[in-house]
Structure 1
Amino acid sequence: MKNLGKQSQSKKQRYYPLRRPDNPYSVDLIPVSEEIYQELNLSINRIRKQEQRAGRCFCPKHLFWKCAADCDVCPYHKKGEFLSLDVEVADEDKDMSTLIDLIADESDLSEELEEKAFKEAVQAAVQSLSPRDWEITRLFMDGLSERAIASKIDCPRKTVNYRKSVIFKTLLEKLSDWF
């Protein structure tokens, strides 16, 4: 008795929905084999999900069984022009090129972003220094010697030397991800 139930399930007839061009709200169900159904179903689901992610498919979930991925005649598909990176478009000189050709080289962009992130990290690390250490750092970056810095901030040269080594150690710790 159990075997009969399994056989009837494996012999279940599958159908492909074919939307009518004259009436997009109705479909004709075409009988297909299980293999063809599985192959078509994968393709239909892939296209429908792609269109949903792009914001063009608004088919209610209870009507997915009607979806044949024929978006041109589907009443739940948003019509209109959509740009694609691989579709050729004409520029101002009437030359045809794709949008992907016009986008900046990825390596240039990544280097630019990395440089910006590094500058922000350095700025945050320097701003975390005490006012005295910041003043020593600023004077050192201006090219002053330890002796000149010591006379400007009114402290011994050895103190400037020690503070400079502490500052470098602190900055290296805070920027360790970059080195």
Structure 2
Amino acid sequence: MTNEANQSQTRIYKIYLPHDKQWVEVTETQYYAYYRDIWATRKRAQAHRQCMCPKDKHWMCDGDCLICKFHAPGDNLSLDLTYQNSDGEEFSMLDKLADPSDSIEDVVTDQIILDMLFHRLAEIMPEARHIGDLRMSGLSDAEIADKIGVPRTTFLSRLKKAKELLQREYPDLF
């Protein structure tokens, strides 16, 4: 048997009961079952600046932060602090926040409208996609006009006419 295996078999697990001020010998399973929630509670309270327990006193923690002598003073409210409603169900303020993301219906509707606008723009100005690609590559109006083979003023005039037509046809979108 290796040294590590020997040590794990002979290791004694103890938990501290702060209210009784005594140590109790337990199995490894009981040790982790007892401390797992306490450690999570303490770490969450420390992250929210509600716990000022020094590292050498962590063994005293029982997870009851409100009566702990290391509890931070002041009104430390946290969105993930759990409360109980009148039915006894637990919830946090995070559960009450509205979801800021768009609904799937809004996303699909926007995509349909965008596709419709691109289709109409392609009818009005067939070179629109190519112009858009050139614009995205950082070319100036003069360089784009040169690439599509028209004078700059003609190019700008066509853009203006296409925009005015789309504004008339789709006033809610512009």
- Relative to the length of structure 1, the TM-score reads 0.45
Higher relative contact order (CA 8 A, sep 6+): 1
